[in-house]
């Protein structure tokens, strides 16, 4: 049994571990974010103006074109988050609870959507629907198609499709731990299938609300769609307006900071809605007696409809942008010829400076993902304990929740600028700490920016863990660390793998943070690709994109296969979606 001494020891270890978690969070999340936002009120503090305190830039951000761009971002992001849940939830249910053909491929191929940076799908759709685009050249063009794609509906569609993988991954993690007993109990009391489904869906609330919060924050901070499709459609979003402030000469960093502050404030809306919906409710349904839910067999009509729906999703999310990228990589350089050629791939192979950036991004992604998952597990546990009613986790957990989600909403350009302001101060040099313009600071920034998303992915699965799992391991003689390793880690091993891969995919082709913080002379893949795209080497840049996505997808496949081969059988069974 667990003695009082054991509890005191566990509490002491928890107190010792708290600084190890909070110090990096404060140093690498709160301080850079705060620096980027404080600049709006005190430009002189960072050498960007003469005022020690002013509200001028905040006032400018809520007037004129900036206010219009902010309003557009708010409603577009809300619509995109809802679209992501509306599409991702049924897909997750089909993959996790039915005999859908190719369901394992569906789960694995979700990573392809995450690997594609948002500017690639935007370019693909733009090439398809723009005047004199692919549809026009094939004689299939229509003005109404162009207006739909090159306008708000197309922007919402693209951003919504970007939210689908987050919903899918969050919901499948929660479905894996949700046994069949709740549906069986509802059916035993006379409920039909739809009524039984209404019993189960509320138990997925943590995952669904997390998906909505992530989707909104990801959409409102996205730059790729704002810079390509939205800009070319004459529909300005807040992130492009922010970029224009920074790219202008002289750069208006205080104005960009004020707009970034409003974007972060907007995150309070889904965060408040999430907290209100989940407050005072428990979602601990995963225990040592949990059983795996059986799959529902689909009939012919159901199978045909499900396969058609999945196919439509992949056509929109992967097919069109994939066609745009591959076709662009096979065109003659400058994109001025419609003849197919492999010259861009040959040029990429022959130039030694084109391979190095991809290798760096793969290494950066692996290191950042490992650091992020370690911190995200602690953060998810802290948040789950708060929502389960632990009073000790009250305001620190709420502060952590807002801080993490705020970093998602803070545009990458502003977040990276915060690292410049925070770590380029003479104070650090006087202390012998020189992180600015180093690969270490870039990896730290990647990890800090990814911590919120990984925490949200783990939140649903961690919220389902009952204390009995850890207590059972302690009762069999395990120490505090061993209880986590033997009782808790197996139950969250698959969500941990998901969070690791999610972070890795996000880092490999990340652009805003990479562009600002990369070590001089050692650009990552996204910076090298952007340099080629922006310097009239469109074909080579698209060839680099295709190779980068293919290599990163290969890493995802290798890591997933390694888990299946090396992980203990119990780890593989817990959290599995079931077998058909």
pLDDT in tens, 300-324: 888 888 888 888 888 888 888 777 7
State residue 340 phi and psi, 5-degree precision.
-85, 140
pLDDT, averaged across the chain: 75
- What is the band of 424 on the pLDDT scale with cuts at 50, 70, 90? confident
Question: For the segment 491-516, what is each residue's pLDDT rounded down to a tens digit?
Answer: 677 788 888 888 898 888 888 788 88
569 CB burial (10 A radius; 0-12, 13-18, 19+): exposed
**What whole-number percentage of the chain has pLDDT above 70?**
70
CA–CA separation, 223 and 109 (whole Å): 24
Q: In this predicted model, what pLDDT tens digit does every residue of 32-79 receive, in sequence order?
A: 888 888 888 888 877 777 788 888 888 888 888 888 888 999 999 999
Angle at the Cα of 479 (from 474 to 482), degrees rounded to 5? 90
- Give the range with max mean pLDDT: 42-46, 85-89, 331-335: 85-89
- pLDDT single digits (tens) 567-580: 666 555 554 443 34
Q: Quickly list DSSP for 67-79.
A: HHHHHHHHHHHHH
Q: What residues form DSSP beta bridges with 331?
A: 340
Residue 147 has pLDDT above 50, yes or no: yes
What's the mean pLDDT in 528-535? 75
Give CA–CA dist 423/417, Å, rounded. Answer: 10
Which of the pair, 366 or 545, is modelled with greater confidence? 366
pLDDT at 163 over 80: yes
- What is the DSSP secondary-structure string of 248-283? SSS--HHHHHHHHHHHHHHTHHHHHHHHHHHTT---
Distance CA 165, CA 449 (A): 18
Confidence (pLDDT) at 368: 93
Q: Could you read off the pLDDT of 428-477 as tens digits, one per residue?
A: 767 777 788 888 999 999 999 888 888 877 877 777 665 655 556 556 56
153 close to 358: Cβ distance less than 8 angstroms: no
Cα–Cα distance measured from residue 459 to residue 113, given in angstroms and rounded to the nearest whole number? 22
Q: Quickly count: other Cβ atoms within 10 Å of residue 233's Cβ.
A: 18
Give the orientation angle of helix 31-38 with respect to helix 253-266, to 10 degrees: 120
Q: pLDDT tens for residues 164-201? A: 888 887 777 667 656 555 555 555 555 555 555 666 66
Q: Which residue has the higher pLDDT, 304 or 126?
A: 304
Residue 7 confidence (pLDDT): 46
CA-to-CA distance for 150 and 230, rounded, in angstroms? 7
281 pLDDT band, cuts 50/70/90, is very low
Domain ranges of the chain: 4-288+302-573
pLDDT at residue 10, as a whole number = 43
Q: Does domain 4-288+302-573 have CATH number 3.40.630.30?
A: no
Cα pseudo-dihedral 122, 125, 127, 128, rounded to 10: 180
Determine the pLDDT at residue 63. 86
- On the CB side of 222, how many CA atoms lie within 13 Å of its CA? 36
Please give the pLDDT value at position 216. Answer: 87
pLDDT at 391: 47
Mean pLDDT of 107-122: 75
């Amino acid at each position: 049994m667990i003695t009082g001494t054991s509890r005191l020891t566990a509490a002491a270890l928890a107190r010792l571990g708290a600084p190890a978690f909070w110090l990096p969070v404060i140093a690498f999340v709160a301080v850079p974010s705060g620096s980027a936002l404080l600049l709006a009120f005190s430009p002189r503090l960072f050498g960007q103006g003469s005022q020690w305190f002013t509200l001028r830039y905040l006032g400018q951000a809520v007037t004129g074109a900036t206010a219009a761009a902010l309003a557009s971002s708010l409603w577009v992001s809300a619509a995109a988050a809802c679209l992501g849940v509306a599409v991702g939830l049924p897909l997750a249910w089909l993959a996790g609870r039915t005999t859908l053909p190719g369901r394992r491929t569906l789960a694995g191929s979700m990573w392809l959507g995450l690997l594609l940076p948002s500017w690639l799908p935007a370019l693909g759709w733009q090439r398809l629907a723009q005047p004199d685009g692919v549809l026009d050249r094939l004689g299939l063009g229509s003005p109404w198609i162009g207006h739909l794609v090159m306008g708000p509906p197309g922007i919402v569609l693209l951003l919504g499709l970007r939210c689908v993988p987050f919903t899918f991954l969050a919901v499948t993690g929660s479905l894996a731990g949700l046994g069949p007993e709740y549906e069986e109990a509802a059916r035993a009391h006379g409920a039909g299938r739809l009524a039984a489904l209404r019993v189960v869906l509320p138990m997925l609330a943590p995952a669904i609300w997390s998906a909505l919060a992530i989707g909104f924050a990801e959409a409102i901070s996205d730059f790729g769609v704002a810079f390509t499709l939205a800009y070319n459609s004459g529909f300005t979003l807040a992130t492009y307006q922010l970029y224009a402030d920074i790219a202008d000469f002289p750069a208006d960093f205080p104005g960009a900071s004020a707009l970034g502050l409003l974007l972060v404030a907007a995150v309070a809306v889904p965060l408040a809605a999430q907290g209100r919906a989940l407050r005072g409710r428990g979602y601990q349904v995963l225990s040592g007696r949990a059983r795996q839910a059986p799959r529902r067999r689909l009939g012919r009509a159901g199978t045909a409809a499900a396969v058609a729906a999945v196919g439509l999703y992949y056509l929109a999310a992967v097919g069109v942008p994939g066609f745009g990228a591959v076709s662009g990589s096979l065109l003659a350089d400058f994109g001025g010829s419609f003849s197919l050629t492999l010259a861009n791939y040959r040029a990429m192979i022959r130039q030694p400076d084109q391979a190095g950036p991809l290798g760096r991004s793969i290494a950066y992604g692996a290191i950042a993902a490992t650091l992020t998952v370690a911190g995200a597990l602690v953060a998810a546990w802290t948040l789950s304990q708060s929502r389960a009613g632990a009073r000790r986790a009250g305001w620190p957990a709420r502060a952590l929740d807002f801080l993490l989600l705020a970093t998602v909403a803070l545009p990458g350009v502003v977040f990276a600028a915060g690292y410049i302001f925070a770590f380029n101060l003479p104070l650090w040099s006087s202390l012998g700490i020189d992180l600015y313009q180093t690969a270490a600071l870039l990896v730290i920034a990647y990890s800090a920016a990814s911590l919120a998303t990984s925490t949200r992915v783990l939140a649903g699965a961690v919220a389902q863990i009952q204390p009995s799992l850890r207590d059972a391991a302690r009762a069999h003689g395990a120490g505090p660390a061993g209880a986590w390793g033997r009782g808790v880690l197996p139950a969250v091993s698959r969500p941990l793998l998901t969070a690791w891969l999610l972070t890795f995919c996000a880092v490999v082709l990340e652009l805003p943070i990479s562009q600002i913080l990369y070590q001089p002379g050692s650009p990552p893949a996204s910076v090298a690709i952007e340099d080629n795209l922006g310097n009239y080497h469109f074909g080579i840049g698209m060839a680099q994109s295709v190779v980068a996505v293919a290599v990163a997808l290969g890493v995802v496949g290798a890591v997933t296969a390694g888990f299946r081969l090396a992980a203990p059988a119990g780890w593989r069974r817990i959290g599995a979606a079931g077998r058909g």
